A and B are shown apart, each in its own frame.
Chain A
Amino acid sequence: MAGIAVSTTINGDNAEYLCHADETLLDVLRDRLGLMGVKEGCGTGDCGACSIILDDRLVCSCLVLGAEAEGRRIETVEGMAQGDKLHPLQQKFLEHAALQCGICTPGFLIAAKDLLAKNPNPTEEEIRFGLAGNLCRCTGYDKIVRAVQDAASVMRGA
């Protein structure tokens, strides 16, 4: 079966791939492009581990077809650090130990990046609501919320 040719932008770089009609963007990113930061948790849009930013909107890549990415802009966790310099959210997740097993972390980082882009000074409640689509079974969320608050204040000052 011939694939569908897709031309898109990922973390600022042009990317082209062939995919099947029923292939999700999550599978394309991982299996065809080697971007392993997107994780498959549930595959049904409940856990947020596969979160990406698609044309400035936070979405679950498991609920997007690979073919739909034609002509669009994709941001993944791989685009957050600048060379060796971590994004403030990544730095603060480390400092606050806001992760244990790490499976949910890329999704949380991307969701938090989207949240802070739209609301640079969120309340704790806004952070908890904003990140409600990301599930973490290890941390109990408090450390994640504190890391996001701390990163937000760093980013406002920067």
Chain B
Amino acid sequence: MRYVRPSSLEDAVGLLIEASGKAAVLAGGSDLLVRMKSGFIEPELIIDIKAIDALNNIVENDEGFVIGAAVPSAVLGEHAALKRAWPGVVEGANLIGSKQVQGRCTIVGNLCNASPAADSVPALVAAGAKAVIRGPTGSRTTAVETVPVGPGRTSLAPGEIIQAILLDKRQPYSGDAYQRFTPRTEMDIAVVSAAVNLTLDDQGVVASARVSLGAAAPTVLLVEEAAAILIGSRVDDSTLDRLAETCSGACRPIDDKRGTVEFRRKVAGVLAKRVALIAYQRAGQK
């Protein structure tokens, strides 16, 4: 096995193509090194992208935020402006693993690992985040929810690397939130999770919304019919009940040792209600 540390994205893409499927991209390594140790993958080449300067920063510009692919989750949690604009995204990213893992893990890695239970992904989907992808033929931008296509599988073409995640500039009266259910309070994997992102009009009525569920299907779910229930409401009790029912119905979960289908369906609805209320409260404060 070889280890390389290219200093440009072009070089990284070139190396990735050259290795024709036998290379792995290393950012935080909190999934990659575990997979290598378990013998699940045996790459011939490790491409460490942390020496590519642009990938190590969070940039705030007129359009919003650009979060580089090598930025660890801990840095997201320390970024005051990002936390203020997208608290749900940051709380999802900060739920991945321990303090130790936070110092290494990245939201792009979380997305590319393509676990249905990835903690940062539902909030990114609810936020309408986009992935900027560099490949052999140039750059493209895609909605985050199009990246995972099944457990452990992504839509990335050979030679493609996600270089950054884009989050829009925040409109006034907006809020987002993410919660998951785990048996322990920390260091655990979501049994099921939910994220809501919404924007209110100046009367306090929901003008736009996005709802997503994690660990409820083979990939993260964007539940448009649940968002439609929130739009036009003031997130009152009857709206929340219908939201919960719709989210429970949208789940296509598995039965496993961490939770049954029935349990996951029920809790998806409960969490959707809770995060909708938190997002609504956060939106009202802006």
Contact = CB atoms under 8 A, between A and B. Distances in A.
Contacts of B98: 45-46, 48, 132-134
B101 A60 contact: yes
A116 interface: no
A64 interface: yes
Interface string B1-36: 111010000000000000000000010111001101
Given A21-B1, A132-B187, A45 B99 contact: no
A35 interface: no
Most buried by A among B1, B5, B101: B101
Most buried by A among B1, B2, B5, B33: B33
Interface residues of B, number: 27
B72 A63 contact: no
Contacts of B2: 21
B34 A63 contact: yes
Interface residues of A, number: 32
Contacts of B3: 4, 21, 65, 67
Interface in B64-92: 72, 74
A45 B103 contact: no
A30 interface: no
Most buried by B among A20, A21, A111, A131: A21
B72 A64 contact: no
A55 to B, nearest CB: 9
Nearest to B32: A63
A44 interface: yes
A59 B72 CA distance: 11
Given A21-B3, A60-B101, A132-B99, 18 more contacts: A21-B2, A22-B36, A24-B33, A45-B97, A54-B103, A57-B74, A57-B103, A58-B99, A59-B103, A63-B30, A63-B33, A64-B104, A65-B26, A111-B100, A115-B99, A130-B99, A133-B100, A133-B187
Interface of B: 1-3, 5, 26, 28-30, 33-34, 36-38, 46, 48, 50, 72, 74, 97-101, 103-104, 186-187
